[in-house]
Chain A
Amino acid sequence: MNFRTFAAFVGPSVFMMLLFIAFPLISVFKQSFYVTQPIYETVEVETCTPGFLTQTCVTEEKSIPKLDEHGEIITQTRFVGLESYRNVLEPERAWRAISEGSWSVLSAINFWKALRFTLTFTLITLPLVVGFGLAIAIVINNAAQAIRGPVIFVSLLPFIITPVIGALSINWLFRGDGVLTAMLEWWLNRDIALFAQAWTIELLMMLYRVWHVAPFAAIVFYAGLQTVNQDSLESAVIDGASRWQRLKYIVIPHLMPLIIFVSMIHLMDAYRVFEEIVGFSSQGYVISLQWLTYDFLVPDQAGNRSISRASASAMLTMVGIVILLIAPLRRTWRDHKGGH
């Protein structure tokens, strides 16, 4: 296939990716160094209230946004350097908190709070997803042929459900005195309020995420289990290997590429954790990095969006993605080199 034909086939797709992914990235990078604000001017305003005998008049100085001839607010964009980053990171406060060793002060800063949650969330759910996925795959593979279809159907439900709705549905089971909270209370014989502190909410979010992603892992592993070499399993039996040993030395090494694949996908997706915050309405207690950017982008009461700060926090989020991707990209590169 010559270059011209290749370009004709791939062109539209590459064009869309450049226009809607690469270009926004560059513009976000640029925006993070600039701030756009309305120009304010100070005017003296005299407000009079009717009183007895005479009016009471107060003169005060007010700063109001300047308007142009169409009555629209004039804005001005200026270069601020790293100020937006400083606003997001608050390095002085963070440094003081770290040197004092006080976690509660550090976690009062939104960015560090979000970073802490995003990392714990990603790292705790990872082994759970792989573990549960493997367990489900093995028991499905173990089940009678006739029930595998329906079981896979049921397993797919948590995976395809809209993330916000999935989080909400778990939320409703536990909210207030929902059925499951009532059951826990009856079982533990004490009063439980799952939405009153951060760590229980985090626990529920992780529960949701494992419920949502484990089916994906299970189906990928299940497909892998179909291709395990039966001969090596049989020879292992003849050599006297126990079930556990067969699993450990034959099945899991066979599935290793798939385990790495699922872990990579999960790391990328869990790092972007966002829908859980919406579904559990946990903004007050727990936030994630992506939610932080989202929050800056949502207009505040005055209708302003802090684009610059959002860009700064987006860029900081990107740093994590880059770190995450270095290892697999190096591996792909080596494979590519080796393949030619």
Chain B
Amino acid sequence: MSSRALRQPLGLRLTSNFFLAFWCLVAAFPIFWITVMSFKSPVDAFDGNALNVIFGPATLATGKGISILDILMGIAVLWVTARLATKTLPEMVKSYTRPGQAWFGWIIGGLVLVLGFLLVFFIVLPAVLNVLNPLFGPLGRDVMGLTTEHYKTVWIDRGFSNNFKNSLIVTAGVVTVSLTVGTLAGYGLARSGSTLAFWILIVALVFRALPHSVLVAGYLPVFINSAEWLRPILGENAPTLYGKPFAVIAVLVAINQPFTIWMLRSFFQNIPAELDEAARVDGCNHFQAFRRVIMPVMWPGVITTGLFSFLLAYNDFLVTSLLLDAQNQTMVPAIAGMFNRETTTTDQVVAVAAAVSITAPLFFLVMIFQRQIVSGLTAGAVKG
């Protein structure tokens, strides 16, 4: 009976779907739009007329554009890549790797695919199209302005690749350390019902609410003068912690710890305690039980938590901008500096290109790990 009684009238269904479509538009539009802007000349990018931004007449006038043939071929390459990634790659990974080592196959396969795509899309395809375009007449004529010069400016002239490398170091460090430390703590807290465990969790909750600037105010004087007070311990070559990526990694791991242990604790609570009790009956101590019984089944929770650690480290502005010096700067503070200092529209579009470069990895992250992100968002919440 439920299906008929709960069926909605047409008007309501239409309104609901209309609102959904509107929301999707609102959610995606700013990101889509800055991507479009980043490929246009400054005049087009900041044009008030939306059509001018999309088709880029001023960009086209400078001789930079793509033809219908280019668009079709580009879409074809993208489609083939997507197909390889979703169909062929999983099959190949399955047939060529031993069970238990599939992750290794995924890493190799993913790298090969990404490199192959970059090679074909940015080197082979333009070369082929240069030959083909004149042969196809009207199909080969440029119809849409498009230029990649801003990306070249950002990555090559402005040294953004250096910032990218620093971001990579910081995020990789934060994810590794914070998961190692957090997994142990999360497991301990999930399996212990003591009052001490409760208090640790409560204090962690309070720490989670702290504004990061409060903590940075505590680090700065200590970090800047660290060479002085570390000298008695480490001798003459005691480091100044200010500006060092490893110091920032430690800080971000600590800031992230409250969230990590809460999340991992709730994942470990979902793993039945009978599992490690059985292992203990068979003669394991707690650490052996953790290593042999829990570790093989904890990966979904760890991957999810790792994703959120990654996001925190990758997205951070406040800590990295205050604690790192110019040559160790990560991407996000670097772009803010770019945007505040320069005022010409060309520089603005360069900043847009940098912004899109920062967002692209996140986009792929959601694409691959959508399920894990959703489960992470709801894990802590649904249990209250």
Contacts and interface: CB of A to CB of B under 8 A. Distances in A.
Interface of A: 1, 3, 5-6, 8-10, 12-14, 16-17, 19-28, 31, 36, 135-136, 138-140, 142-143, 149, 151-158, 160-166, 168-170, 172-173, 175-179, 181-183, 211, 215-216, 219-220, 223-224, 227, 230, 233-234, 237, 243, 257-258, 261-262, 268, 271-272, 274-275, 278-279, 281, 289-291, 293-294, 296-298, 305, 307, 310-311, 314-315, 317-318, 321, 324-325, 329, 332-333, 336
A205 to B, nearest CB: 14
Nearest to B322: A297
Contact of B358 (A16, A139, A165): A165
Given A13-B261, A178-B48, A290-B211, A168 B355 contact: yes
Nearest to A28: B218
Interface residues of B, number: 106
Interface string B293-331: 000000000000000000100110110001000000000
B213 A293 contact: yes
Contacts of B65: none
A181 to B, nearest CB: 7
Nearest to B23: A136
B377 A1 contact: no
B311 A305 contact: no
A272 B211 contact: yes
**Considering residues A23, A28, A274, A311, which has the most beta carbons from chain B within 10 angstroms of its beta carbon?**
A28
Contacts of A17: 203-204, 207, 254, 257-258
23 contacts: A1-B191, A9-B188, A10-B188, A10-B200, A12-B181, A12-B185, A21-B207, A28-B217, A168-B355, A177-B48, A178-B48, A211-B30, A224-B382, A243-B8, A274-B318, A289-B211, A290-B318, A294-B216, A298-B322, A321-B210, A325-B206, A325-B209, A329-B202
Nearest to A23: B218
Contacts of A233: 6
Interface stretch (B99-107, B230-238, B333-341): B333-341
A333 B199 CA distance: 10
Interface stretch (B70-78, B129-137, B365-373): B365-373
Given A9-B185, A274-B318, A160 B200 contact: no
Contacts of A261: 380-381, 384
Interface in B159-208: 181-182, 184-185, 187-189, 191-192, 194, 196-198, 200, 202-208
B17 interface: yes
Interface stretch (B31-39, B56-64, B114-122): B31-39
B382 A293 contact: no
| A-B pairs, 9 with minimum CB distance | A24-B218, A9-B188, A20-B254, A182-B48, A13-B185, A223-B378, A293-B213, A314-B214, A169-B30
Contacts of A321: 209-211
Interface in B1-48: 1-2, 5-6, 8, 12-13, 16-17, 19-20, 23-24, 26-31, 33-34, 37, 46-48
B221 interface: yes
Main secondary structure of the interface of B (DSSP, over half): helix
B359 A161 contact: yes
Given A156-B373, A160-B373, A281-B340, 12 more contacts: A13-B261, A17-B203, A143-B16, A158-B31, A160-B311, A160-B365, A177-B48, A261-B381, A274-B211, A278-B317, A314-B213, A329-B202
B144 interface: no
A215 B217 contact: no
B318 to A, nearest CB: 6
Contact of A16 (B31, B181, B189): B181
B339 A220 contact: no
Contacts of B287: 5, 8
B250 A20 contact: yes
Nearest to A140: B20
B215 interface: yes
Contact of B217 (A182, A220, A272, A311): A311
B27 A154 contact: yes
Contact of B377 (A8, A22, A220, A278): A220
B211 A234 contact: no
A305 B221 CA distance: 9
B94 interface: no
B23 A139 contact: yes
A155 B5 contact: no
Contacts of B182: 13
A153 B366 contact: yes
Nearest to A257: B384
Nearest to B362: A160
A152 to B, nearest CB: 7
A156 B363 CA distance: 9
A143 B351 CA distance: 38
B53 interface: yes
Given A27-B222, A142-B16, A336-B198, A12 B184 contact: yes
B263 interface: no
A139 B48 contact: no
Contacts of B188: 1, 5-6, 8-10
B184 A13 contact: yes
A337 to B, nearest CB: 10
B206 A135 contact: no
A162 B359 contact: yes
Contacts of B255: 20-21
Contacts of B189: 10
Contacts of A31: 217-218, 221
B217 A237 contact: no
